[in-house]
Each structure stands twice: as C-alpha cells, then as structure tokens.
Copies of this chain bind each other. A is one copy, B any other.
Amino acid sequence: MARELLTVGGAAVESGWSARMLRYLEEHAFVMPLRTDAGYRLYGLPELNRLRSLRDLRARFGVELAELVFARRLRREADLRQAVDAWLAAGDDARSWIEWEQRKHERLLAV
C-alpha cells in the first residue's frame, strides 16, 4: 500500500526541519499535518512541499515567520494594505529629490 505519509521524525529528516520545529510550525498554523487516531502527526506530499518551500523562503530571503503572518494579513485585509501602502508611498516621496530640494531652505533658515 502506498505509504507516502511520514510521521514527524521522517518528515523532519525529509524537510530539513527538526521535529521540534515541525510541532512549532503546526502550533503557529504554518503547516498543519494530518493526524492518526492516536494523535500521531502525518505529513503528506503537500505538507512536505510546504515545509521545503518555507525553508527556502527563509534561507533565500531571510524571511521571519512573523513576517509571513503579516504578509498574509496584508493580502486579506484591504484597509490595512491600503494604509500601509499609503504610508510607504509617502515615505518614498518624502525622501525624493524634489522634496529634498524644496526643503533645503528650511535647513538654511533653521540655523
């Protein structure tokens, strides 16, 4: 019978995480394994792929888990996304050369 369902130790080896971290990731709703009746965690291919790509994300970009959570919020909460975007856009502009030039005199007046 096809047994591509791994218990936590096997999934740890296969994914590159520690078993401890697999439990941590479940606790924080990043990767939710199936369960046997006895309560053993079972990881299938989708979960393993998810674990591997999560590892990748952290390795390649240095992304924190909390940051992923925030990214999820950003894609779900339109008003939050808009507010953040507005703030960041203002920041990009505020530091643009035009503003910078315009405000030189403030520095001069300020002395």
Contacts and interface: CB of A to CB of B under 8 A. Distances in A.
Interface residues on A, range: 35 or more
A19 interface: no
A46 B95 CA distance: 10
Contacts of A5: 106, 109-110
A53 B3 CA distance: 54
Copies in the complex: 2
21 contacts: A5-B106, A5-B110, A32-B95, A34-B110, A35-B107, A36-B110, A42-B106, A50-B91, A53-B86, A53-B90, A57-B83, A57-B87, A60-B83, A66-B67, A67-B67, A68-B87, A71-B74, A71-B84, A71-B88, A72-B88, A72-B91
